[in-house]
Amino acid sequence: MLDNQKSLLTIPLTGRVDSNNAGQVEQQLLAALKNHAGSPVVIYAAELKYISSAGLRILLRIKKNHPDLTVTDVNPEVYEIFEMTGFTEIMKIEKAYRRVSVDGCEVIGEGANGKVYRIDRDMVVKTYKNTDALAEIQHEREVARTALVLGIPTAISYDVVKVGDGYGSVFELLDASSFAKIIAEQPQRFDWCVAEYVKMLRHIHETVVPEGKLPSIMTTVRQWLDGAVSLLPQSYGEKLKELIDALPERDTMIHGDYHTKNIVLADNEVLLIDMDTLSVGHPIFEFAQMYNSYIGFGEYDPEIIARFQGYPSDVANKFWRRSLGAYLETDDEKKIDEAEEKIRCVAYTRLIDWGRRHFTSDSKKRETVLPLWVSELVALLDKVDSLEFLSEPETAYQELVIDADPKNLLQVQDFIEQQLARNGCHPKTLMHIGVAVEEVFSNIAQYAYLSEKGTTTVRVEVTHDPVSVVITFMDHGVPYDPLIKKDPNVTLSADDRNVGGLGIFLTKKTMDDIVYEYKDGQNILTLKKTL
């Protein structure tokens, strides 16, 4: 009943624990714990079928004397009792997980922290290099949900399983094939893969992430920088720091491990997987990781790339160059070379830090490969004066020109909601914007053109610092400033209140700012709301 090793007590708890037998069970547990006050305790609950409040009270009393109490291998039904009573918040309770074997299964994806295996036609499992990966799994679930809400097509794990000594996340991905497999087995689809790969990458990099939803990549980059600088001549280390510090902060998303094994075609839909490295930051950090996955890690041995990607290193090099050119919208090799030189500065920063930590037991690689990467970086730092290879993002806006007709209200609202969905708009904020849009457009549709027909231009513009939406309505109707209307007295009784005037009042209340002007024959009403 008791396993006492290094002061850790493991006690099985079986069957039912209810008001009928709670006293007896408690006496057995106290006897097992006698003379071990304060020791960490693990209650093994794989055979626990039922527990009532009487049993829960026993665990509370034990925890007072054994603060490190853990209840492990709890079946889903009993775990639900712990969860709904809040016990999962006050002590460590670990659910029992079904076991899955990946022996002989096809690897359809691979990232820095694990591999994705196909178990059957519908199901895949991501395994983790860290055997105690429950915290990583929870983090990945959270960031994947964030990405999905922001419009990034991905899959959300619906279960956690045990795989060998570690854990895995289960996903439903019908007939999923990685782009790596498609390139290897269907070379005629190479151009299609490049186009879809870059389309997804642009979508990621254009997605603004609300503050605090994802970590900044700069935390990780600072670690790379510290490791690389320790092996660089001082002047080059200082220049590298200056170049990286000069890069502007961005609140747009980056995947962090974007390569052809982490983008899949599932049921004719292109999806992004392996989301645990999701963050925000400058796209050069994304491209640096991409360069390494296609070229950098295999610079001293091209077979490394072939084994990892599943296709020859020359194909990987071609895919990298074609993707970079497509992203930059150029086939000018000189422009691609210039961008690549800047990207390689960051890529070698990462490689040097990685090699410094991983080559400790391999003196040959430490003496040959690391100096190679250092010399490459030094040569690049002699050539570049800036790491910025992308033009500064301009404030983009979308416009809809539509007949000023009340029947078109739903189309206007859908258009605006589509733009907001990409920027993580909170449901409450979305509702406020919806109310204001309805009031403004309905007013234009009913009164701007009197008996004539006319159009309304609706412009949606997302600005940054802070992330805000600016919605502008423009029409050529009768000049009218709705802001001059006096606000209704909302303290009056129903009998004393006027029916009209609430529309623009609601708009003022729900928006952060409203501005009207009449210019060039147009009514221009601009609404602003912080997201």
Q: Any idea what the CATH number is for the domain that residue 84 is in?
A: 3.30.750.24
Query: Could you tell me which residues are beta bridge partners of residue 43?
Result: 11, 71
- The count of structural domains within the chain is 3
Please check whether residues 402 and 377 belong to one and the same domain.
no
Please check whether residues 457 and 345 belong to one and the same domain.
no
Residue 172 lies in a domain: no
Q: Mark 197-232 as b/e (b = at least 16 C-beta within 10 Å).
A: bbebbebbbebbbbeebbbebbebbeebbebbbebb
4: pLDDT strictly greater than 70: no
Query: Which is more confident, 94 or 258?
Result: 258
Query: Which is more confident, 324 or 266?
Result: 324
Final residue of a structural domain among 95, 123, 140: 95
DSSP letters for 6-48: TTEEEEE--EEESTTTHHHHHHHHHHHHTT-TT--EEEE-TTE
Please check whether residues 341 and 421 belong to one and the same domain.
no
Residue 133 lies in a domain: no
Please check whether residues 344 and 407 belong to one and the same domain.
no
Spatial neighbors of 26 by CB under 8 A, at least 6 apart, are 58, 61
pLDDT of amino acid 503: 67
Listed residue (164, 116, 53, 420) closest to 273, CA to CA: 116
Q: Helical H runs in 359-426?
A: 363-381, 409-421
Q: Mark 138-162 as b/e (b = at least 16 C-beta within 10 Å).
A: eebbebbebbeebebebbebeebbe
502: pLDDT strictly greater than 80: no
pLDDT, mean of residues 36-50: 86
Query: Could you tell me which residues are beta bridge partners of residue 124?
Result: 118, 171
d(C-alpha 303, C-alpha 311), whole Å: 10
Q: pTM surpassing 0.85?
A: no
The listed range with the strongest mean pLDDT (85-99, 365-379, 495-509) is 365-379
Tens digits of per-residue pLDDT, 92-131? Answer: 888 888 888 999 988 877 777 788 888 888 888 888 888 7
pLDDT of amino acid 422: 64
Model confidence band, residue 145 (pLDDT cutoffs 50, 70, 90):
confident
d(C-alpha 338, C-alpha 388), whole Å: 10
Q: Which two tokens stand for residue 201?
A: 């990458």
The listed range with the strongest mean pLDDT (78-92, 139-153, 173-187, 191-205) is 191-205
Please check whether residues 325 and 290 belong to one and the same domain.
yes
Residue 178 lies in a domain: no
497: pLDDT strictly greater than 80: no
pLDDT of amino acid 2: 42
Residue 159 three-state SS: strand
d(C-alpha 70, C-alpha 230), whole Å: 42
Final residue of a structural domain among 64, 95, 126: 95
pLDDT of amino acid 7: 67
pLDDT of amino acid 6: 45
Please check whether residues 404 and 517 belong to one and the same domain.
yes
499: pLDDT strictly greater than 60: no
342: pLDDT strictly greater than 70: yes
Model confidence band, residue 382 (pLDDT cutoffs 50, 70, 90):
very high
Residue 208 lies in a domain: yes
Spatial neighbors of 417 by CB under 8 A, at least 6 apart, are 430, 434
Give percent above pLDDT 90 in the chain: 45
Tens digits of per-residue pLDDT, 430-472? Answer: 888 888 898 899 889 988 997 788 999 999 988 765 678 899 9
423: pLDDT strictly greater than 70: no
Final residue of a structural domain among 381, 413, 440: 381
Q: CB burial class (10 A; 0-12, 13-18, 19+) of residue 187?
A: exposed
Query: Which is more confident, 200 or 157?
Result: 200
Please check whether residues 199 and 327 belong to one and the same domain.
yes
In this structure, what CATH number is given to the domain that contains residue 442? 3.30.565.10
Q: Which two tokens stand for residue 235?
A: 């002047």
Give percent above pLDDT 70 in the chain: 93
Please check whether residues 371 and 225 belong to one and the same domain.
yes
Q: Helical H runs in 467-515?
A: 502-510
CB count in 10 Å sphere of residue 462: 19
In this structure, what CATH number is given to the domain that contains residue 376? 3.90.1200
490: pLDDT strictly greater than 60: no
Q: Where are the beta strands (DSSP E) in 275-412?
A: 279-280, 397-403
Task: Give me the phi and psi of 256, to 5 degrees please.
Answer: 95, -15
CB count in 10 Å sphere of residue 56: 17
Model confidence band, residue 33 (pLDDT cutoffs 50, 70, 90):
confident
396: pLDDT strictly greater than 70: no
Listed residue (54, 53, 58, 51) closest to 16, CA to CA: 51
Task: Give me the phi and psi of 525, to 5 degrees please.
Answer: -115, 120
Domain span holding position 242? 187-266+275-381
First to last CA, the chain: 57
Residue 364 lies in a domain: yes
Please check whether residues 363 and 503 belong to one and the same domain.
no
Please check whether residues 281 and 328 belong to one and the same domain.
yes
Question: Which amino acid, 85?
Answer: T
d(C-alpha 110, C-alpha 183), whole Å: 15
Please check whether residues 338 and 457 belong to one and the same domain.
no
Q: CB burial class (10 A; 0-12, 13-18, 19+) of residue 97?
A: middle
495: pLDDT strictly greater than 60: no
Q: Helical H runs in 66-114?
A: 76-84, 87-90
Residue 283 lies in a domain: yes
d(C-alpha 343, C-alpha 273), whole Å: 24
Residue 417 lies in a domain: yes
pLDDT, mean of residues 60-72: 88
Residue 177 lies in a domain: no
Mean pLDDT of the chain: 87
Please check whether residues 412 and 511 belong to one and the same domain.
yes
